[in-house]
């Protein structure tokens, strides 16, 4: 089992000036995996990356790279690669020398350096740019040199610290698909820090959602999106609405819950929740149907009043106030019927499988 692990963090904690930044992180990364550390700023994702890189030491817990404990191993012995937020290229060296730096530090032979640098630059589609200096390159090209420089040494793990956040939206998209293609091709284990949920969803094999120094959930992008474990995850990734409820009936495969709006909802779940237990429910904004108030009544619908209707390009966004006074945001891919306008009474229908039980 541990042979297939590229990286393993167990109980890793770190404080700065008596403020706990990481509160016991456990994380196993398999060889060849692309894993994202996703969370808001200050959640500890960059600190985690810096600990893996060896820029600082954990106060408690162990970091294992390929099964070896590296807590006390300095950065330059860890055999890692890293791509930085600002490209961090060596401004006094041309592309070739930048990419060759790691190989030279490893005292590789000249012929090997030449072929490895060539390969790396070809991988990022920058062949022919060897003589250019970083300042002569565009932002996207600089970041690709940064990637080539990190990959040229064939690192055990490639660490990426928000590498695309300084690029404009279009370039970022292009670089995302390029990064995906490169990962598919070379299968290097990658640990990617980002606060951009879309980036994490599109790039990763698995996502580690972090919040306030803890790992909230570690799952595949689908798992994170469709079965968030906590309210934080449901809220941070995608747009969600939250309602409290009390279980009133337990059926095989589902429960009936009385919502704080006074209405009942059928919630699909494999969990065995006794009647009377309080639960936190959530529903994705794009998993709600809006029906006019005179549609035939079905079980598990919420009635409410439309507050706002916005056209946001790829979708329509409707804001509905329900009986408890909460505002439910609904995202529709197609235009709602013309009578869904501010002031109108509507019913919101939520399928049992679209309710999420959160912690």
Partner 1 sequence: MKISVTSIFAFIIYAIIIAPVLMVVGASFTETRFIAFPPQGFTLDWYWRALNDRALMGGLWLSVTIALTAVGISTVLGTMAAIYLARPKAFGGAVLSSFFLAPLNVPAVMTAFALLLAFTRWGLINWYGLVAAHVVLTLPYVVRSVLVSLAGLDSSIQRAAGILGASPLRVFWHVTLPLIRPGVVAGAIFSFLISFNNVPVSVFISSPGSAPLPVVLFNRMQWLAEPSVAAAATIAIVATISTMLILERRFSFYQSMFR
- List interacting residues with partner 1 (CB under 8 A): 53-55, 74-82, 84-86, 88-92, 101-102, 105-106, 146, 149-150, 153, 159
Q: How far is the CB of 259 from partner 1 (least distance, A)?
A: 50
Alpha-carbon distance of 94 to 130, in angstroms, equals 7
Q: How far is the CB of 50 from partner 1 (least distance, A)?
A: 9
**Nearer Cβ to partner 1 (56/299):** 56
Q: Rounded to an integer, what is the distance from CA 356 to the centroid of its chain? A: 19
Treating both helix axes as pointing N-terminal to C-terminal, what angle do 110-123 and 139-151 enclose, rounded to 10 degrees?
Answer: 130
Q: DSSP 3-state assignment of 143?
A: helix
Q: How far is the CB of 163 from partner 1 (least distance, A)?
A: 12
Alpha-carbon distance of 141 to 125, in angstroms, equals 9
**Nearer Cβ to partner 1 (106/251):** 106
Alpha-carbon distance of 48 to 191, in angstroms, equals 10
**Could you tell me which of 52, 185, 177, 199 has the C-alpha nearest to residue 120?**
185
Q: How far is the CB of 89 from partner 1 (least distance, A)?
A: 8
**Nearer Cβ to partner 1 (153/234):** 153
**Nearer Cβ to partner 1 (92/170):** 92
Q: How far is the CB of 267 from partner 1 (least distance, A)?
A: 47
* Residue 23 φ/ψ, nearest 5 degrees: -120, 60
Alpha-carbon distance of 251 to 52, in angstroms, equals 46
**Nearer Cβ to partner 1 (76/131):** 76
């Amino acid at each position: 089992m541990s042979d297939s692990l590229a990286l393993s963090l167990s109980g890793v904690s770190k404080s700065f000036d008596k403020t706990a930044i990481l509160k016991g992180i456990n994380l196993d990364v398999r060889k060849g995996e692309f894993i994202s550390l996703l969370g808001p700023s200050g959640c500890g994702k960059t600190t985690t990356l810096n600990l893996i890189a060896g820029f600082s030491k954990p106060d408690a817990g162990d970091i294992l790279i390929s099964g070896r404990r590296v807590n006390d191993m300095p950065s330059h012995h860890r055999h890692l690669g890293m791509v930085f937020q600002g490209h961090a290229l060596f401004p006094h060296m041309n592309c070739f020398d930048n990419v060759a730096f790691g190989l030279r530090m490893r005292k590789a032979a000249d012929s090997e350096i030449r072929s490895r640098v060539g390969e790396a630059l070809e991988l990022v589609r920058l062949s022919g740019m060897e003589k250019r200096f970083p300042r002569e390159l565009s932002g996207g090209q600089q970041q690709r040199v940064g990637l080539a420089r990190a990959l040229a040494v064939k690192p055990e793990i490639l660490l990426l610290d928000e590498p695309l956040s300084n690029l404009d939206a279009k370039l970022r998209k292009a670089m995302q698909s390029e990064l995906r293609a490169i990962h598919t091709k070379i299968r290097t284990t990658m640990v990617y820090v980002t606060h951009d949920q879309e980036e994490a969803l599109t790039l990763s094999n698995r996502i580690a959602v972090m919040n306030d120094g803890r790992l909230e959930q570690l799952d595949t992008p689908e798992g994170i999106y469709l079965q968030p474990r906590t309210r934080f995850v449901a809220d941070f990734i995608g747009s969600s609405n939250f309602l409290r409820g009390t279980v009133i009936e337990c059926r095989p495969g589902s429960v009936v819950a009385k919502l704080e709006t006074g209405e009942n909802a059928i919630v699909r779940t494999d969990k065995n929740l006794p009647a009377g237990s309080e639960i936190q429910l959530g529903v994705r904004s794009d998993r709600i149907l809006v029906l006019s108030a005179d549609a035939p009544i079905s079980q598990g619908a919420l009635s409410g009043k439309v507050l706002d209707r916005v056209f946001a390009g790829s979708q329509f966004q409707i804001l509905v106030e329900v009986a408890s006074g909460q505002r439910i945001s609904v995202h529709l891919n197609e235009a709602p019927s013309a009578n869904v306008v501010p002031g109108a009474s509507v019913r919101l229908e939520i399928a049992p499988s679209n309710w999420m039980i959160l912690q």
